[in-house]
């Protein structure tokens, strides 16, 4: 394609040019979808393009996306954590309990983070220490963590969080930019650097592509995976702080079903569910697409089930399209 008529034939040093790679990439497609969703929403509802409304809409995805970043790394490494929503429930319950003991806001935050870390460490130890499959372990801890919340709370709720605690889920950093949105942006940058610019990130990809090969190349596979579970637990703890602060109360059913929404977001973001590939910008775009689609449909009062169908269809399209595309391009070449 890039061959010129005159002059010596150029021998490519990579499979495709940077521009080709950029235009053909998953992230570009997602960006196009995001722009399309934005455009359609603006056309469809006069209320969409309003700074405050858009700001409110970001709450639809910020907390889930925070967990999604850590989940992306975990899935790239070939593992998964389905207990994230239950970690939120347990961390939130622990914070509610701490309120009854008279803890102040900083101690509450510490409680939430600590419970997240402990839960992550528990998952990580079972997976890397005992060599159990993560999907089975975390289905177990999914029931275990939320079960503890149900035992503690039953049909009761913890309320009475200090008013300064409300900042994390209801506060604004500047104008329409909420604390959650700022945190989401900061974490996106941190995780993008961690995955794409550090040795640790390279190790995560290496493990996902070939764990045995990675082990023989001197990567401490178990340790990296343990850290990833810790990170996922920690991010769930942070999400628990934001969500609890936003709701101003804790019930054991808090964040019910979020694990699947987080995994959906990550897969939609182009993270290979089998491990080995995917990027953080992809997850960021997927989060925005999902949030804006949900909000756009909400503005038109489209029933929730239609949104679920749309997201489901989008997800299947996302996974199927690259394969269909590959098959077609192979077919034409043969």
User: What does the binding site for other proteins look like in residue numbers (CB under 8 A)?
Assistant: 33, 36, 40-41, 43-48, 50, 52-53, 56-57, 59-60, 157, 159, 166, 169-170, 243, 246-249, 251, 253-257, 294-296, 298-305, 307-308, 310, 313-314, 317, 320-321, 325
Which CB sits closer to other proteins, 114 or 247? 247
Taking residue 282's Cβ as centre, other Cβ atoms within 10 Å add up to: 23
Which CB sits closer to other proteins, 53 or 277? 53
Minimum separation from the CB atom of position 149 to other proteins (A)? 14
Task: Please name every residue paired with 178 in a beta bridge, in sequence order, or none if there are none.
Answer: 172
Minimum separation from the CB atom of position 244 to other proteins (A)? 9
Which CB sits closer to other proteins, 146 or 251? 251
Using alpha carbons only, give the angle 189, 193, 198 rounded to the nearest 5 degrees: 165
Minimum separation from the CB atom of position 304 to other proteins (A)? 4
Minimum separation from the CB atom of position 303 to other proteins (A)? 5
Minimum separation from the CB atom of position 60 to other proteins (A)? 6
Minimum separation from the CB atom of position 131 to other proteins (A)? 35
Q: Give Cα separations from 265 to 10, 271, 275, 285, 310 (angstroms).
A: 41, 9, 15, 9, 13
Which CB sits closer to other proteins, 127 or 288? 288
Reading the block at residue 144, the tokens are: 């275990």
Minimum separation from the CB atom of position 308 to other proteins (A)? 6
Q: Is residue 87 classed exposed, middle or buried when 0-12, 13-18 and 19+ CB atoms within 10 A define those classes?
A: buried
Which CB sits closer to other proteins, 189 or 316? 316
Tokens 């340790």 belong to which residue? Answer: 223
Which CB sits closer to other proteins, 15 or 305? 305
Which CB sits closer to other proteins, 102 or 257? 257
Minimum separation from the CB atom of position 325 to other proteins (A)? 8
Which CB sits closer to other proteins, 227 or 288? 288
Which CB sits closer to other proteins, 40 or 132? 40
Minimum separation from the CB atom of position 21 to other proteins (A)? 18
């Amino acid at each position: 394609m890039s061959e010129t008529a005159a002059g010596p034939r150029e021998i490519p040093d990579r499979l495709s040019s940077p521009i080709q790679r950029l235009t053909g990439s998953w992230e570009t497609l997602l960006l196009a979808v995001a722009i399309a969703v934005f455009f359609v929403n603006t056309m469809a509802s006069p209320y969409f393009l309003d700074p405050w409304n858009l700001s409110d809409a970001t709450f639809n995805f910020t907390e889930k996306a925070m967990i999604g970043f850590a989940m992306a790394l975990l899935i790239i490494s070939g593992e998964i954590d389905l207990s994230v929503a239950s970690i939120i429930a347990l961390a939130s319950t622990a914070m509610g309990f701490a309120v009854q003991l008279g803890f102040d806001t900083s101690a509450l935050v510490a409680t939430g983070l600590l419970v997240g870390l402990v839960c992550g460490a528990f998952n990580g130890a079972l997976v890397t220490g005992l060599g159990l499959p993560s999907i089975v372990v975390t289905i177990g801890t999914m029931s275990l963590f939320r079960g503890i919340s149900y035992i503690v709370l039953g049909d009761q709720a913890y309320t009475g969080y200090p008013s300064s605690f409300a900042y994390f889920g209801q506060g604004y950093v500047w104008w329409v930019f909420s604390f959650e949105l700022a945190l989401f942006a900061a974490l996106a940058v941190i995780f993008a650097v961690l995955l794409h610019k550090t040795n640790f990130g390279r190790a995560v990809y290496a493990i996902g592509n070939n764990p045995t090969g990675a082990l023989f190349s001197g990567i401490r596979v178990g340790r990296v995976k343990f850290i990833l579970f810790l990170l996922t637990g920690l991010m769930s703890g942070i999400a628990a702080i934001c969500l609890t602060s936003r709701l101003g109360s804790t019930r054991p059913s808090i964040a019910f079903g979020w694990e699947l929404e987080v995994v959906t977001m990550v897969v939609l973001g182009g993270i290979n569910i089998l491990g080995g590939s995917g990027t953080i910008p992809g997850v960021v775009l997927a989060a925005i697409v999902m949030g804006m689609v949900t909000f756009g449909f909400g503005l038109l009062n489209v029933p929730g089930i239609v949104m679920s169908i749309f997201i489901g269809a989008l997800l299947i399209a996302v996974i199927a399209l690259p394969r269909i595309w590959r098959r077609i391009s192979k077919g034409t070449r043969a």
